Structure 1
Amino acid sequence: MTLHGLPSRILAGLNRPVSAIGAGCWTIGGPAVNGRVPIGWDGVDAEHSYAGLLRAHELGVTLFDTADVYGMGRSERLVGRLLRQTNRHDLIISSKVGYFAGTAEHPYHPGQIRRQLETTLTNLGTDHLELYFFHSDDFGPGDRYLDDALAQMRHFQRQGLITAIGMRAPHAFAVQWAHGPSTCLSAQRFLTLFERIRPQVLTARYNLLSPPYAPGETDIFDFARRHNVGVIIKQALAQGLLTGRHLPTLPRSFSDHDHRSTDPAFHPTAIAVVHHALNQIAKHFGGQPADLVRLALRYALHRDSDSPVLVGFRDSTQITMNLTCLGEPLTIQEIALLRRLAEPAAHVISHRPHR
């Protein structure tokens, strides 16, 4: 099944077809800081980004994922411009709440959630969201805001303001890690929140640098399928690390408004490890940016036949390449080879929890 040229997938939890590749709109928010924490991206031009949104829609993207803190509203407003030029009913719009407190005591204070949703809907120029995510798992000391925040989200559903409630999964997760003599706290925390929130959709990071799982371990995709919950895959290109554009011989510097300035994955040592893995991959598959992007996206698309994959972009050139380089699906043998070649870098980048 295709949607305007792109294959589609039925997202569990929403039970609607979405384009297999979705537009991840974090990047287009540009540089930003939230509470002195860098959360943005350098070198982003709003008009070029908007041209990218238009191009994504033209090429068949129906899933657009943004958040209130992506550019502190700029990303949502750009998506809102797109909605004014398109048929809103054909699109799946996702946004998030939970990192911006404003003048409230906490980002998940019910009043703050109400204000943030109102602002998000205004920014987007729409009266509803298909997906609204709990962006953070910090619900205050002792989870004091969790019950009220969840009640508020359920109220939004009853009002028709949102269709499905979403939640983030840990970057690395297996059900078995939450049990036993040496537990993984992030896995344990996720299971606790999942039982209380009962979301319809999860977002999960998955790419060539994700940790390998042992036989018998239940990862986030198998877990979600057991619970009839959808999964949206994010960071399939590892925020650009898998495109081959970050070179250890030409290290890049980032402003204090760019999240990469504090991300260990962008330290020169980590970039060198990834670069070496990409060189090995290039010997078998080609090393041009389009080759590497194709491999990364096809690898992510292969993991779960129902999960759409988000891809970031800055302009129409990037999103065009991302959407037109896919080619044929990878074979089982090619997937296995990619895993083997990327595994040394995955161990360095993924920070798989100790158990």
Structure 2
Amino acid sequence: MEQRAFSRSGQQVSVLGLGTWQLGADWGEVVEDDALAVLDAAVEAGVTFLDTADVYGDGRSERLIARYRAQRPDADLLVATKMGRRLPQEPENYHLDHFRAWTDRSRENLGVDTLDLVQLHCPPTAVYHSDAVFDALDTLVAEGRTARYGVSVETCAQALAAIARPGTTSVQIILNPFRLKPLEEVLPAAVEAGVGIIARVPLASGLLSGRYTPETVFGADDHRTYNRNGEAFDQGETFSGVDYATGVEAAAEFARLAPSGATSAQTALRWIIQQPGVSTVIPGARSPEQARANAGAAALPPLPPATLDAVTELYDRRIRGQVHDRW
């Protein structure tokens, strides 16, 4: 699989990675053996980049990755984790003592002395403008707790603030055919600064798979049930902030843009991969078959200009009014 670099760090990542929120919590239950099978299928398909967080299943996702790495010491993986959501998202909680405690816990969960990459996990906007926060992150690197650091953001304004910080290796941001705003300023700024872009929520919480209907029911423990209006965390994390009914209709239109032999999900992933500035895209998977299918998007030929134009037209007509000015 194609490898791309985080230019500031030189770290290499597969253009198709694996997000492991699903393996920890909030997407319905995934038993441990099934989770390990998903990891193995992704790695066998060429994935070298895994994204996790200390709060995914209260560390379960990190521990599953550690168990898998112990079973597969030959796998050359770069694992990114996230920190900052173990306490209320208040600016005063983002300081060096907490960073040390959080990274020490993740190091233990992942079974490593030094984290490959740690990311602030969607902190409040004020955090991105705090010199003390970024001094503390630099200290984590100097102390060997993490090799590099990045941020995961909710808004484009937050992304631009993070990119301006010289120590930022990567910015993780929602980017998919239902969330086009990052194309305007964020991706060009990242290219100019040499900051990697990690595209998350690439299938709009599964909407862009084209498999859901107005009658689809999600489990009570699935964020697509309990966070549709932002009840538990930022609404943009669930269906990219698009209301479900609109999303289902727009996804059906998007599915008709898929080239012969490709699924709707693969088409969405291929669209993201070819956006200038994207380093890697991190779809989740709950089965080995899904992990392999997602990875297959990396082998698809680039989408033609007519398809790219059709995606923009669909977004402008059906989606823009709901999400563009919010994030």
| Change in CA separation of 1:150 and 1:127 when aligned onto 2, cut-off 3 Å | same
SS of the equivalent of 2:150 reads: strand
Residue 251 of structure 1 aligns to which amino acid in structure 2? T
For residue 173 of structure 2, what is the aligned residue in structure 1?
204
**For residues 289-348 of structure 1, what are the alpha-carbon distances to aligned partners after superposition, in whole Å with 9 as ceiling and x for unaligned?**
x51011100110011255111111112121011112552221222211222234333225
Match of 2:44 in 1: 58
CA distance in 2: counterparts of 1:170 and 1:223, whole angstroms: 17
RMSD over aligned CA atoms reads: 3.2
Report the counterpart of residue 15 of structure 1 in structure 2. Answer: 10
Distance 2:56 2:249 in 1: 31
In structure 2, distance between residues paired with 1:81 and 1:45: 14
- Please state if 1:151 is matched with 2:135: yes
Q: Which stretch of structure 1 is more off in the superposition, 253-262 or 87-96?
A: 253-262
What amino acid sits opposite 2:211 in the alignment? R
Instruction: Flag the 1:218–1:251 CA change in 2: closer, same or farther, 3 A.
Output: closer
- 8 Å Cα contact 1:100-1:107 kept in structure 2: no
User: For residues 70-89 of structure 1, what are the structure 2 equivalents within 5 Å?
Assistant: 70-87=56-73
The amino acid that maps onto 1:152 is A
Amino acid at match of 1:245: R
User: Which residue number in structure 1 is paired with residue 196 of structure 2?
Assistant: 230
Give the deviation of 1:245 after TM superposition.
2.2
Q: How does 1:165-314 map to 2 (within 5 A)?
A: 165-171=149-155, 173=156, 187=157, 191-192=160-161, 194-195=163-164, 198-211=167-180, 218-248=184-214, 250-255=215-220, 258=223, 260-264=225-229, 270-285=243-258, 291-304=263-276, 307-314=279-286
Aligned-pair CA distance for 1:20: 0.7
Instruction: State, as a whole percentage, how many aligned pairs show the same letter.
Output: 26
Q: Which secondary structure does the structure 2 equivalent of 1:133 belong to?
A: strand
Deviating more after overlay: 189-198 vs 272-281? 189-198
Q: For the structure 1 residues 242 and 89, does the alpha-carbon distance in structure 2 shift closer, same or farther, using more than 3 Å as the test?
A: closer
Q: Which has the larger radius of gyration?
A: 1
Distance in 2, matches of 1:129 and 1:91, equals: 12
Q: After alignment, is 334-343 or 203-212 more displaced? A: 334-343
Instruction: Please report how far the alpha carbon of residue 192 of structure 1 lies from its aligned counterpart in structure 2 after TM superposition.
Output: 4.8
| Inter-CA distance 88–239: structure 2 relative to 1 (3 Å threshold) | farther
TM-score calculated relative to the size of structure 2 = 0.85
Alpha-carbon offset, residue 43 of structure 1: 3.3
How many Å apart are 1:105 and its aligned residue? 10
Question: Structure 1's 143 and 240: CA in aligned 2 closer, same or farther, altered over 3 A?
Answer: closer
Which of 279, 297, 301 is equivalent to 1:328? Answer: 301
- 1:122 equivalent in structure 2: 108
Deviations 1:160-209 (A, max 9, x none): 331221012444x3xxxxxxxxxxxxx2x555555457412111111000
Q: Counterparts of 1:273 and 1:259 in 2: how far apart (Å)?
A: 15
Which segment is superposed worse, 189-198 or 153-162? 189-198
What letter is aligned with 1:130?
Answer: D
Code of the residue aligned with 1:10 in structure 2: it is A
Equivalent residue, structure 1, for 2:289: 317
Q: Give the AA of the match of 1:315.
A: S
Query: What is the CA–CA distance in structure 2 between the aligned matches of 1:204 and 1:100, rounded to whole Å?
Result: 20
Deviation at 1:261, TM superposition (A): 1.3
Q: Hey, what does 1:182 align to over in structure 2?
A: none
- Deviation, 1:147, is 4.6
Give the AA of the match of 2:187.
Answer: F
- 8 Å Cα contact 1:133/1:166 also seen in 2: yes
TM-score (norm 1): 0.78
Aligned residues: 317
Residues 272/235 of structure 1: CA separation in 2 closer, same or farther (3 Å cut) = same
Per-residue CA shift, 1:123-147, capped at 9, x if unaligned?
11111122111113238xx759945
Shift of 1:284: 4.3
Identify the residue that residue 19 of structure 2 maps to in structure 1: 24
Change (3 A) 1:243 1:348: farther
Structure 1 pair 315/203, CA: closer, same or farther in 2 (3 Å)?
same
> CA–CA distance in 2 between the matches of 1:144 and 1:60?
34
Q: Structure 1, unaligned stretches of length 5 or more?
A: 1-5, 31-39, 174-186
Q: Residues 106, 79 of structure 1: CA spacing in aligned structure 2 closer, same or farther, 3 A cutoff? A: farther
Give ranges in structure 2 of 5+ residues lacking alignment: 230-237
Structure 2 Cα separation of the partners of residues 218 and 283 of structure 1:
26
CA contact (8 A) 1:79 1:124 kept: yes
CA contact (8 A) 1:94 1:129 kept: yes
CA contact (8 A) 1:25 1:66 kept: yes
- For 1:199, the aligned partner's letter is T
Secondary structure of 2:178's match? coil
In structure 2, give the amino acid aligned to 1:162. T
1:9-43 C-alpha deviation (Å, 9 max, x unpaired): 1222221321110111111112xxxxxxxxx2223
The residue that corresponds to 1:179 in the other structure is: none
